[in-house]
Amino acid sequence: MRLMRNSTLRQLKVFEAVARHLNYTRAAEELYLTQPAISMQIKQVEENVGLPLFEHLGKRIHLTAAGRELLALCRDIFGKFAEFEMSVADMKGMKKGQLRLAVITTAEYFAPRLIGPFCQHYPGVDVSLQVINRESVLQRLADNLDDLYILGQPPENLEVHSQPFLENPLVVVAPRDHALAKKKCIALKRLAGEPFLMREPGSGTRMAAQRLFDEHGIKLNIRMELGSNEAIKQAIAGGLGVSVLSRHTLALEGERGPLTILDVQHFPIQRHWYLVYPAGKQLSVVARTFCDYLLAEGRRISRK
Amino acid sequence: MRLMRNSTLRQLKVFEAVARHLNYTRAAEELYLTQPAISMQIKQVEENVGLPLFEHLGKRIHLTAAGRELLALCRDIFGKFAEFEMSVADMKGMKKGQLRLAVITTAEYFAPRLIGPFCQHYPGVDVSLQVINRESVLQRLADNLDDLYILGQPPENLEVHSQPFLENPLVVVAPRDHALAKKKCIALKRLAGEPFLMREPGSGTRMAAQRLFDEHGIKLNIRMELGSNEAIKQAIAGGLGVSVLSRHTLALEGERGPLTILDVQHFPIQRHWYLVYPAGKQLSVVARTFCDYLLAEGRRISRK
DNA sequence: TTCTATCATAAGTTAAATATTATGACACAT
DNA sequence: ATGTGTCATAATATTTAACTTATGATAGAA
């Protein structure tokens, strides 16, 4: 049995035509071939299968059991090809595609609201969103596992294309009943005494805040390191201290929620969210469209 | 998009190997080819698809969305081929197959009990049994729609191979309380007065009985023509007359049932059931095996 | 019987697929 | 900077699939 090894799709198509007409000559006409061409192809396929596919009785031919199975196989395969071709056609026209995003955890506070409208506009596009820590994002970036990445700061050791698309203001967050809550223009050094809650070292937010305080020669009193922004917010609400967070993490907090933003000098620290992908990577149509959309959306939000 | 038109299974296999290794050189080694051969094949497939299948980043390559879809297609298709090849292998070894039988209605009284054990012995064989009247059987035979046919007498106007495999004794059936029920060696002419129930003209049983009576110059009093053996049995039980039937139709009637067999001279008429198929037809392995089985079974039953 | 439709076979041609060798370009690691 | 691994390209060779023409065999219809 060497069907797969030796046969060609063409032979299967010839077979299918013959099986449909149950007549070599008709099949030949349909395919613009001579009848002997058909005879030969069928003979080949039968040799490859190892069993007769047609039964010849007088001038009429009939499918054998093996022939019926092969016909089913052909129809099945041709169908799969047709499906595939449609998929590809859709991909070409952006009616269909995949968009694999990997974003740093803090982006979870705003990314879904940007992605949502995009998905609605292109319902054929499957978007997968990985929300992981910075280190994992960089690893996936290096392994080229996704189409696009969102980071709070572009990686330095990898060759990438990166583009800021949205402001990322870092603010000082405190409980609403904090002593400084109502003050205006709080001096930076007033924070020196406050117990600080921070993400782990390596966090972009932490590094940016650290740099600001270092520049002003202020030593922070770091009370606790916590593994997620949400944990920090809970801790602040619990009165364990204050922290520097992206304002996006407070998007869902109301005017009367348990947290508030302190009006500290030099804050908000203006950072940006970056759209990143490996240098030299040829983006898919979907990914390019998404980039354009994100940039436009970023500008729109800034103007407001 | 001309994937189906222009590509070959070989190209898909090359693609699959590359997609698996994500490395042209490795794929080339696996297929005992040189690397440029791979490059060319992939280029061809990409042209046929109309989209890149791989993304080249530095020395590493990755599948594009289209590539992933094509890989899925390949695996799918290769799987179908494998299934088909297994099917065919099974057919060759009788582990699998189809057996399409068309039998004349009277055969329904014994055919299932012959077919049953065969099915049990070859559980991979799908048996389909058409129970239809003689005319339909002959039509199907002429159209070569089945593997084998069972008839009470071989057709005369068609070229067929036919072989008797089981005795088919025709007997005179009467109600158990019939006047002649207890008599021995009833003379044929005693039946002349009896009201007779018969199948329609053309029925083999009817023709055989008619011939016997004609030979002895006896004119039958045909009271009623009925369309099935079961209907005739009901009518006999209802006292509407007597009839000539295959003894097989009484197989399930008990010793004390409402019907009995009259011991009439020249009865039972010894006829046979015939296994028939078109002359020159190459029987499938399954059909041949079933023939052998039926003949052996027929001999076994006769000996008893 | 003769004619016609149908498939098989043989010989030879054409065209296409597939391959190789040789070489170049490029990224990455040392 | 150099070397190594990897893919691309060009020129060319080889194989083989696919097709045609010509002819033969056979079955069924006229």
Chain B residues in contact with chain A using a Cβ-Cβ cutoff of 8 Å: 1, 3-4, 7-9, 49-52, 55, 57-58, 60, 62, 64-66, 68-70, 73, 76-78, 80-82, 84-85, 87-89, 91-92, 97-98, 144, 278, 280-282, 284, 286
pLDDT digits (tens, 9 = 90+) for A64-93: 889 999 999 999 999 898 889 888 888 888
Which is more confident, A175 or B193? A175
* pLDDT of B174 over the 90 cut: yes
User: What is the pTM (predicted TM-score) of this model?
Assistant: 0.74
Q: How many domains does chain A have?
A: 3
* Residue A273 banded pLDDT, cuts 50, 70, 90: very high
Which is more confident, A63 or A86? A63
Give me the CA B29–C1' C30 separation in Å, rounded. Answer: 27
Q: How many CB pairs under 8 A join A and B?
A: 101
Last residue of a domain, one of A41, A72, A103: A72
Q: Is residue A88 part of a domain?
A: no
Instruction: Judge whether B39 and B56 are in contact, CB under 8 Å.
Output: no
Query: Are residue A195 and residue A236 in the same domain, yes or no?
Result: yes
Query: Are residue B151 and residue B108 in the same domain, yes or no?
Result: yes
Last residue of a domain, one of A39, A72, A105: A72
Q: Which DSSP category does A248 fall into? A: G
Structure tokens at A297: 């959306």
3-state secondary structure B175-216: ECCCCCCCCCCECHHHHHHCEEEECCCCCHHHHHHHHHHHHC
Report the C-alpha gap between A67 and A225 in whole angstroms. 71
Asked whether residue A159's C-beta has any atom of DNA/RNA strand C within 7 A, the reply is: yes
Report the C-alpha gap between B295 and B146 in whole angstroms. 19
Asked whether residue B53's C-beta has any atom of DNA/RNA strand D within 7 A, the reply is: no
Name the percent of chain B lying above pLDDT 90.
29
pLDDT digits (tens, 9 = 90+) for B269-279: 999 999 999 88
User: Looking at strand C, which nucleotides approach a protein CB closer than 7 A?
Assistant: 5-11, 17-23, 26-28
Report the C-alpha gap between A254 and B70 in whole angstroms. 49
Q: Is residue B87 part of a domain?
A: no
Look up the CATH number of the domain holding residue B213.
3.40.190.10
Other CB atoms within 10 Å distance of the CB of residue A227: 12
Q: Is residue B68 part of a domain?
A: yes
Query: Residue A12 is part of which domain span?
Result: 2-72
**pLDDT in the model for residue A261:** 93
pLDDT digits (tens, 9 = 90+) for A229-257: 888 888 898 888 999 999 989 887 777 88
In the predicted model, what is the mean pLDDT of residues B198-209?
86
Report the C-alpha gap between A98 and A146 in whole angstroms. 10
**pLDDT in the model for residue A260:** 92
Instruction: Judge whether B276 and B150 are in contact, CB under 8 Å.
Output: yes
Instruction: Judge whether B25 and B34 are in contact, CB under 8 Å.
Output: no
Q: Is residue A82 part of a domain?
A: no
Look up the CATH number of the domain holding residue B33.
1.10.10.10
Residue A65: list chain B partners with CB under 8 A.
91, 97-98, 284, 286
Helix axes A9-21, A65-92, angle to 10 degrees: 120
For the segment 233-292 of chain A, residues whose CB is within 7 A of strand C:
280
Query: Are residue B148 and residue B285 in the same domain, yes or no?
Result: yes
Q: Is residue A85 part of a domain?
A: no
pLDDT digits (tens, 9 = 90+) for A119-172: 888 888 888 888 888 888 888 888 888 899 999 988 887 888 889 999 999 999
